Chain A
Amino acid sequence: GDSVTQMEGPVTLSEEAFLTINCTYTATGYPSLFWYVQYPGEGLQLLLKATKADDKGSNKGFEATYRKETTSFHLEKGSVQVSDSAVYFCALRIPFGNEKLTFGTGTRLTIIP
């Protein structure tokens, strides 16, 4: 079945450090890929998405590129801030299939000043 594997956390970085959170997927079709973020006490919010190979999703300084050859969608940010502390979820969905979101287990990120 479809699945998402995420880098295990927690991840702790200093402010202004470079961030990478790895995500790889297994899917039977051609998935759309997503990163969701969950700030403390809040629901999941869509951070960025990509719907086909080589697409780059970007938002709030975060980027992720859909790499079909490596079945990956790694999240990156060049300079993290304390306000980026949250849990990050990678997810996929098969368009025009059952449309179900399949999530990874999440990576908790803590940024220290």
Chain B
Amino acid sequence: DAMVIQNPRYQVTQFGKPVTLSCSQTLNHNVMYWYQQKSSQAPKLLFHYYDKDFNNEADTPDNFQSRRPNTSFCFLDIRSPGLGDAAMYLCATSRELANNEQFFGPGTRLTVL
């Protein structure tokens, strides 16, 4: 089945230690998104890629970066995680930006010690 895969499902890191979360897709979609979902809060869009074009949300901290080396993979890099960055990180894809359903992965739960 075509799907969105996130690895790992659970990630523990230390305060200030860089961490990378991974997302891959077999849908061959043009757009890949990263959302942050803190406990009991709404998912919040951090940024998205349309093909190789990166689009950052205005309020996404500089601590969060992303890479998309090819159509299938997208990475979320947190350069210096703080305790406030502990959250579920959701990856999603869509075929196009306009009027297209987003397909979500299962998420990676990040714990910062």
Contacts and interface: CB of A to CB of B under 8 A. Distances in A.
Interface of A: 4, 32, 36, 41-46, 89, 95-96, 99-106
B42 A106 contact: yes
Interface in B82-113: 90, 92, 97-99, 101-107
B99 A101 contact: no
B110 to A, nearest CB: 16
A100 B59 CA distance: 14
Given A96-B98, A99-B97, A99-B98, A43 B42 contact: no
Contacts of A102: 42
A83 to B, nearest CB: 18
B41 A95 contact: no
B102 A101 contact: yes
A49 to B, nearest CB: 8
Instruction: Pick from A44, A89, A95, A105 the residue with the most CB of B within 10 Å.
Output: A44
A27 to B, nearest CB: 15
Contacts of B6: 43
Instruction: Pick from A42, A45, A99, A106 the residue with the most CB of B within 10 Å.
Output: A99
A45 B102 CA distance: 9
Given A95-B98, A101-B43, A106-B40, 18 more contacts: A32-B99, A41-B106, A42-B106, A43-B6, A43-B103, A43-B105, A43-B107, A44-B92, A46-B102, A89-B42, A96-B98, A99-B98, A100-B45, A101-B45, A102-B42, A104-B42, A105-B41, A105-B42
B16 to A, nearest CB: 29
Contacts of A95: 98-99
B4 A103 contact: no
Interface in B16-42: 40-42
A45 B104 contact: yes
B15 to A, nearest CB: 27
Given A43-B90, A95-B98, A103 B106 contact: no
A95 B99 CA distance: 6
A65 B92 CA distance: 26
A36 B101 CA distance: 11
